[in-house]
Structure 1
Amino acid sequence: MKKYLGIYLKNEKEINILREANRIVSIILDALQESVRPGVKTIDLEETALTWCSRFNVKPAFKGYRGFPYAICCSVNEQVVHGFPSDRILQEGDIVSIDFGVIYQGFYGDSARTFPVGTISNSTQTLLDVTRDALDIGIQSAVVGNQLYDISRAIQRYVEDHGCSVVKRFVGHGIGRSLHEKPEIPNFIPQRYSDIPLKTGMVLAIEPMVTAGKDEVEILSDRWTAVTKDNSLAAHFEHTIALTSNGPEILSRSYAEYGQGRSH
């Protein structure tokens, strides 16, 4: 594994392992998507994820990571990230963001999606669409020869052009043998930064977190769950991608998520 500016560049063998790790993540997120419906307790989604981890003989990446107590981050409505699964019952019209990862042969897979619970309002659907499309656009900018902050710029511009806000407290990251590696990938352009050329072999977890209101968040008393200060809804989509000479490859791609008509 080579290093470039402190960033681990993965070889083809390592990317193959990361591809499988993220394929497993995608399959489990597909299963969780099928489980999301009104009347379901969010702790039931945790049990579903653990059952699937056992089937694949993989470890959940988040459980125990820096003391986080669950396999999934399960964030409902105004919860942005790092929510705890619980006895909370999902209601018609809710949205639930599930961030999930696994460890496979020493490498990490990581992806997140926001799911509608039953029928949601048009404005809520717009939030989900803007967030997912911002991720797509960010990925399209993740090409060798571009700069790291081309990704950030593309995401921020798209989100703000559509009347939403990018959460600035949390960022994307490199990923490999560690869940969080260099570089950090903000979904906005920082006031001060030194840009980094994108190189073949980088593996990045890009994850816009977007609110329908303002971007300020606060952390609840559990010391993990982040919520919007103005109580506006939040959505979160994440893919792990590998930078190749042929463009970005989405390792956590899901046909259940994107369908046949989408480009990624």
Structure 2
Amino acid sequence: MIVQSDEDLTHLKDIGRLCAVAVKTMAAALEPGITTRELDLIGRKVLEDNGARSAPELCYEFPGATCISVNEEVAHGIPGDRIIKAGDLVNIDVSAEKNGFFGDTGSSFIVPPGTAKIERLLRDGKRALWVGLNQVKTGQPMANIGNAIGTFAKKNRYTLIQNLASHGVGHSLHEEPKELSTWPDPDETRIMEDGLVFTIEPFLSLGGIWAEDGEKDNWTLFSEPSAPTVQFEHTIVVTRNGPLVLTLAD
């Protein structure tokens, strides 16, 4: 999507903020003993109370309002009876629609107590996202995003999941530009256009390279090789002054 008007931008900011508020509210409820289904219901209530609809349900008939992935799960975890325990690494990914506009955001969290290694991974996962965001500017190569994140990951001895890409968003959950790599991609030749809307969502890992289906269900993805992995995601608009981040709760 290319932002065409102030009205477009207002709607995008509205749904982006709601997605961020849902993540923030769910994170505040994250504690030992809560199930992923109970956590999902908290996110659903935030969305529905504000006139928004779950994008995974709307677009793909996903069996939950939000994606909640725990420990060995990298992405697209289905909310259910799994009980959150102390020390769990939990990713909360919320995407939603309101008034025909879509937003998408996600963050990873540790349920205390966390190890120093996982705390560092979480810190650097956020840093990796902002390294990518800092490459966003009208007229610049899209490849700059993946190149910068890849350099950061290599320097700090991490790997990146290389088959879970960022994507265009706006009038639908997934649209052009499709398959925007958050790792170095020599085949990426596109240029960032003013007003273009897309996500940046690197999956930083302590050894994982691919996301693969497991035998658990038709949705949940696991890292291969198996390793702790975090994801942080924002939806942004490209401007001449850099990225306009839409998915902020405050």
Q: TM-score range by the shorter chain?
A: over 0.9
Q: Give the Cα separation in 2 of the matches to 1:31 and 1:137.
A: 26
1:183-233 CA-partner distances (Å, limit 9, x unpaired): 131111224x14112121101111111211131332123121111233211
Contact 1:160 1:166 in 2 (8 A): no
Aligned residues: 247
Q: Distance in 2 between matches of 1:231 and 1:189?
A: 22
How far did 1:127 drift?
1.1
Q: What is the CA–CA distance in structure 2 between the aligned matches of 1:234 and 1:247, rounded to whole Å? A: 28
Pairwise CA RMSD: 1.3
Is 1:155 matched with 2:149?
A: yes
Cα drift, residue 54 of structure 1? 2.0
1:91 and 2:79 are equivalent in the alignment = no
How do 1:1-264 and structure 2 match up within 5 A? 8-11=1-4, 12-183=6-177, 184-191=179-186, 193-221=187-215, 222-255=217-250
Structure 1: distance between partners of 2:42 and 2:226: 29
Mapped to 1, the partners of 2:104 and 2:206 lie a distance apart of 24
Higher mean displacement: 244-253 or 168-177: 244-253
Deviation at 1:247, TM superposition (A): 1.7
Q: How far apart, in 1, do the equivalents of 2:249 and 2:76 lie?
A: 22
What runs of 5+ residues in structure 1 fail to find an aligned partner? 1-7, 256-264
Distance 1:239 1:137 in 2: 12
Percent identical pairs in the alignment equals 29
- Contact 1:131-1:159 at 8 Å conserved across structures: no
Report SS of the residue matched to 1:32. Answer: helix
Contact 2:164 2:211 in 1 (8 A): no
2 CA distance for matches of 1:15 and 1:245?
15
Is the partner of 1:27 in helix, strand or coil? helix
- Deviations along 1:125-170, one digit per CA (max 9) or x if unpaired, are 1111111111001000011121101011111111121111110111
Is the CA contact (8 Å cut-off) linking 1:102 and 1:109 kept in structure 2?
yes
Could you list the runs of 4 or more consecutive aligned residues of structure 1 that deviate by over 6 angstroms after TM superposition?
Answer: none
How does the TM-score come out when normalised to structure 2? 0.94
Instruction: Name stretches of at least 5 consecutive residues in structure 2 with no aligned partner.
Output: none
Structure 2 residue identity aligned to 1:155: I
Cα contact 2:165–2:201 (8 A) shared by 1: yes
Contact (CA 8 Å) 2:211, 2:222: kept in 1 or not? yes
**Inter-CA distance 219–24: structure 2 relative to 1 (3 Å threshold):** same
Aligned to 1:108, the other structure's residue is in SS state strand
CA distance in 1, matches of 2:37, 2:163: 26
| 8 Å contact kept, 2:102–2:170 | yes
